[in-house]
Each structure stands twice: as C-alpha cells, then as structure tokens.
Amino acid sequence: MQSRTQSKRAAVSKKRRAGKVGTAFLVVFFTFLILAALGAFIYGYHILNLETFYAGVTVDNIDLEGMTYDEGLNAIKALRQPELEAINIVLRHEDLVWEYGYEAIGAKINIEEVVNQAYQVGRQGNIIERLRQIYEASKTGYYFTTVLTYDVSLLQDELEAIARQINLEPVDAQIEFHPDEEEKFSFTEEVIGKGMLVDEALADLKEKVDARDFSPYEIPVQLIQPKYTLEEVKTWTSKIAVYSTPLTSSAARTHNIILSSKSYDGLRLDPGEIFSLNEATGPRDKAQGYKDAPVIKEGKKLVDEPGGGNCQTSTTLYGAAIRADLEIIERYHHSWPSVYAKVGQDATVSYPVLDIKIRNNKDTPVFFDRYIKNGRLYVEVYGKAPTEYDKIDVISVILEQTSKPAEKVVQDNTLAPGEEVIEYPSRPGIKVQTYRVYYKDGKEIKRVKEAYSNYPRIVGLKRVGPPKPPEEEQPSNNNGKTGDTKPNEQPSNNQGNSNGSNNNGSNNSGEEQSDTESTDEA
C-alpha cells in the first residue's frame, strides 16, 4: 500500500519536473524567436536605410556597392568624361584651321540619369518590394549603362559660315578694247572659283564622329570654272565686218559725222545689249556742237540745219552691223536713196523720232571701231569669228521703180525773165528688198531678207521767171535756124535719168532726211 502511494508520488513528481522543463523550453524558444525577429527588424531597418548603393549594382561595369550617391556619380564621371573631352573636331582648308569641342555638337553622357536609376534599386516600392530588389541585386545583379549622344548637324551654321569665308566666286577673263592703239585688245586672266561642299562635309563629319575618328578633316571644295577663260576671250578679237561710206567736201557735214560717230567709237556691245544712236548722242543740235548742213525737210527738199550728215553716221553703222550679222531692232530709210550707200541700204535718223537700234544677238561681245581714212568713214566690228559662214554680203534688189515725173512749174516774178530755179527735183518711186547673203568657202550658202524700203515718187517744184519779151527777128544765115538749139531738142533741168538709173536713183547731194517739218536733222 505504502509502495503504491510512493509510486504515485513519484509519478506526479516526475510529471511536475517534465512540465517545468517544457515550460523552460518554450520560454527559451519564444525568447529566441523574439530576439531573431528583433534582429531581423534591426537588420532590415539598417539595410533599408543605407545611404550607399546596394550590393550587385553596377554602372558601366563599375561596382558601386558601398558608395554614396555622390561617390558613385563621381566615379562614373571620372570614367566617362574623358570620352567627351576626346571629341575634338578639326577642320582644315589650306592654311586655315577650325576646331570644335564636344559642346559644339551637343555631345553629352546621361551619367546623372543612369546613376540616379541605379541608386533607386532597393529604394522604390513597399518594404517587401524593396527587400526583394536588394536580394535580387545581391544574387543576380543590376546592371546599368550610360549612353553618349550628340548631333553633328548642329555644326550646320558653322560650316555655312566657313563656306562664306572660303568660297570664291569665279571671275571671267577680261578683255579691253583700245580702238586707237596698235594692239587693239588687252586681257586679264580668269580666276577659278571654289565652293565648299557643305552637305558632303556634314555627312563626312558624322561618319568620323560615329567612328570616334578625330583626325584633322580636309574640307571638300568644288572648283568653279568661269564662263569665259583667257583662251576663249582671245577668240573675240577677229574682224568680222567692215563697212565704209565716202564723205563729201562739206566741212560742216564732215564735222557733224565725226562728232556723232564718236558715240560708237570703241563701243562694246554685250550679248543681248541694244545700242541706240539717239540714246548715245542725245539731241544733235547747236548746243551739242553740231553745225548747219543740209537735211531733208518735208520729205522732198534740202534745208541747212544743225546735224546735217548724221544719217551717214547711222548708215555706215547699219552697213557694218548687218555684215556682222547683228540684229536690227529699228531702222528707217530716207525719202530718196542716198549717194553714199547702195539703194535700200541707208538708215536715216532724226532725234528723237527716228533711230537706228542694234542688238547683239550673239553669245559673246562685239566691239566697234570707227575711223576716217582717205575721205571715207569706216566702221569695223570685232568679235568671235563665225564657223557656219565666212562672210556676209548685202545685195539690193529693186522690186519696182516708177519713172521720174516732170517738176511742177510755178511762176515766180521775183526771178528774172526766163530764169528757172529747181526748188527741189522730181524723183522716181523705188521699192527695194535687201538681202544678207552668206558665203562659205566662196560659195553662197543662204540668203536672208534684210529690209524693205519704199522710196516715194516725188514731184519736184520748178520756179520760173516771167516770160522773156519778144526778141527782134534776126537775119537767117543758118538755113532757117535760130540760136544753137535744134528744133527737136529742149534743154533738160532734170538731175539723173528718168528711169532713176543714176546711182540707183540716188540724189547726188547724198544728204540726210527729215520726215517732219519740225525735225532738226536727218
């Protein structure tokens, strides 16, 4: 009985001891858990509040673990800044040099942006997300790379400024005309121009920067040839036409011709340019030094007025111009043919109404020289010799010609009995077509109509005095004849043949024309 009781007591005691052990274990276990949790919290708090880059974060292959933001930023700058500094674009042309650094092309590396992204690893999201990023970074790593960017097209304005500095306009070879000198022409050599190839340079520089090739770059230029070289302008010196007309013995008339023809002495007429005699001389009156000489008035008679003779100036110029194959813009014929030019080949002028205008229809300039020699007015034209023909002749073809009418007779009692005065002579009407005839190797190759002239038929005017008083009949000693005149003959007061064949129907005075009563010259 006693042993059973003792056994029970022993069992209870054993249970009590076991219970105490279990309680102690639980206390220890929970204490460990609390301490572990507290440690984890303290570690997590420490990790989450680090001011350095986490393990496994790299930028441009540099491990930033343990570095502060500024330390990491400076480390990457130290790595990449030399790459920017290495950008040095050098342009050369002859002895000129231009240099541009990375700023000129807007070159930059996004260091701050990338370092900031790297620093945000483990610092974005909630605690769990942050811890996950920190863990992933430590295990697999977070890798960031900076990027260099630039824009070479930012050099466009600079390249255009360089182009303005080095570009050179081509200059044609120059030719000067000296009509009064033995060597009539002098020359200045051409200047070859150059132009910078801006677009090509910009494309080349982009390729060089992409390849990190910063060796000096020779600027590409294009040579620009002038339109006219020295060799070319020297071909403009051929005498391509010459024409002359005879002067009269009138000193005043010759004076006027010399004065007005100075307007085209030494003239250079460039392609497309038009020469106007009226514009070149201005008014041809006494104020300008012109003397009185015969001019045609009212289209039928000659009157002394300032500027007589200027039509020979225009006619001689006209004759040379058509033989040089120049274009005639304006030309008028006289009231009757001139003695100093073939019929249909005259050119009258009357300031400011009637003019002679000549246009250079060639691709190169022509030059005019005028001079007087052996009583003739000469005009020579120099220029580039044509290849399609050797020379031009001008021919006149009379299409129609009337007879010369008898003068109208009026009595003038101021004249002596039987006296007769031709106020102005009658002239036949003539229609003429002229042609430019082109020759090559002595053969005619073509002919082109030049001008049509219609000289009007003019009825002259003859003034006669009162009739002579009857004469006493003289003894006949010559078979019934009186005086020296044959019965069937009458004295003629007409000048030239009735068919106008005297010098192509021209007036022997060879003077100029005025078609209006108020005009001052021909």
Q: Dump pLDDT digits (tens) for 363-420.
A: 999 999 999 999 999 999 999 999 999 999 999 999 999 999 999 999 999 999 999 9
Q: Minimum mean pLDDT among 135-149, 202-216, 457-471: which range?
A: 457-471
Distance (Å, whole) CA 135 – CA 54:
9
What dihedral do alpha carbons 288, 292, 295, 301 form, nearest 10°? 150
Strands, E, within 102-230: which ranges? Answer: 108-109, 142-144, 148-149, 174-177, 185-188, 193-196, 217-218, 221-224
**What's the 3-state SS for 266-315?**
CCEECCCCEEEHHHHHCCCCHHHCCCEEEEEECCCEEEEEECCCHHHHHH
Where does the pLDDT of residue 468 fall: very low under 50, low under 70, confident under 90, or very high at 90 and above?
A: confident
What was the pLDDT predicted at 15? 66
The first and second tokens of residue 227, run together, are: 């339109």
What is the bridge-based pairing of β-strands 376-383 and 366-373? antiparallel
Rounded to whole angstroms, the Cα distance separating 260 from 278 reads 10
Convert the pLDDT of each residue in 163-180 to its tens digit: 999 999 999 999 999 999
- CA 379, CA 370: separation in Å to the nearest integer? 4
In tens, the pLDDT along 222-277 reads 999 999 999 999 999 999 999 999 999 999 999 999 999 999 999 999 999 999 99
On the 0-12 / 13-18 / 19+ scale of CB atoms within 10 A, 296 is buried
Is the pLDDT at 287 greater than 70, yes or no? yes
Give 92's strand partners: 97, 218
317-356 pLDDT, tens per residue? 999 999 999 999 999 999 999 999 999 999 999 999 999 9
Residue 190 reports pLDDT greater than 90? yes
Spatial separation of the C-alpha atoms in residues 247 and 260, rounded to whole Å: 14
Count how many residues are written for the chain. Answer: 522
User: Is the pLDDT assigned to residue 161 strictly greater than 90?
Assistant: yes
Give the angle subtended at the CA of 310 by the CAs of 305 and 311, to the nearest 5°.
Answer: 110
- pLDDT averaged over the chain? 88
Q: Give the model confidence (pLDDT) of 129-157 as tens digits.
A: 999 999 999 999 999 999 999 999 999 99
Rg (CA), the chain: 56
Q: Quick one: pLDDT band at residue 44, thresholds 50, 70, 90?
A: low
The answer to whether the beta carbons of residues 356 and 279 sit under 8 Å apart is: no
- Helix axis angle for 310-323 and 251-261, nearest 10°, is 50
Name the burial class of residue 490, with classes exposed (0-12), middle (13-18) and buried (19+) by CB atoms within 10 angstroms of its CB: exposed
Residues 6+ apart with CB under 8 A from 219: 91, 92, 93, 162, 166, 196, 201
pLDDT-based confidence at 478, cuts 50/70/90?
Answer: very low
Q: Which residue has the higher pLDDT, 496 or 8?
A: 8
Q: How many CB atoms lie within 10 A of CB 43?
A: 10
> So what's the pLDDT on residue 244?
98
Nearest to 369 by CA among 319, 320, 315, 311: 320
pLDDT digits (tens, 9 = 90+) for 89-133: 999 999 999 999 999 999 999 999 999 999 999 999 999 999 999
Reference 303, options 86, 42, 72, 521; nearest CA is: 521
Name 281's Cβ contacts closer than 8 Å, sequence gap at least 6.
260, 263, 288, 310, 351
- Antiparallel, parallel or unpaired: β 57-59 and 62-63: antiparallel
pLDDT value, residue 266: 98
Confidence of residue 48 (pLDDT cuts 50, 70, 90): confident
Q: Is the pLDDT of residue 474 over 70?
A: no
CA 241/CA 316 separation, integer angstroms: 12
Q: Is the pLDDT assigned to residue 464 strictly greater than 90?
A: yes
Q: What is the pLDDT of residue 507?
A: 37
Distance (Å, whole) CA 409 – CA 450: 39
pLDDT tens digits, residue range 431-454? 999 999 999 999 999 999 999 999
Residues whose CB falls within 8 Å of the CB of residue 443, separated by 6 or more in sequence, listed in order:
none
Strands (E), 325-442: 327-330, 357-359, 366-373, 376-383, 391-401, 408-411, 420-424, 430-440
Predicted pLDDT at 470: 80
Is the Cβ–Cβ distance between 54 and 65 less than 8 Å? yes
* pLDDT given at position 469: 83
Instruction: Provide the 10 A C-beta neighbour count for residue 4.
Output: 8
Percent of the chain with pLDDT over 70: 81
Q: What are the distances in angstroms from CA 509 to CA 55, 202, 248, 303, 361?
A: 122, 77, 9, 12, 35
Across the range 204-226, mean pLDDT stands at 97
Query: Residue 156: enclosing H or E segment and its boundaries?
Result: helix 156-166
pLDDT in tens, 289-313: 999 999 999 999 999 999 999 999 9
**What is the band of 23 on the pLDDT scale with cuts at 50, 70, 90?**
confident
Looking at residue 506, its pLDDT comes to 36
User: Residue 512 forms beta bridges with which residues?
Assistant: 295
- Residue 173's closest CA among 223, 235, 227? 227
DSSP 225: -
Q: Helix, strand, or coil here: 404?
A: coil
Q: How far, CA to CA in Å, does 336 sit from each of 248, 399, 507?
A: 18, 15, 7
Q: What is the pLDDT of residue 500?
A: 34
Phi, psi of 255 (to 5 degrees): -60, -45
Confidence class of residue 489 from pLDDT cuts 50, 70 and 90?
very low
Residue type, 483: G
pLDDT band of residue 2 (cuts 50, 70, 90) is low
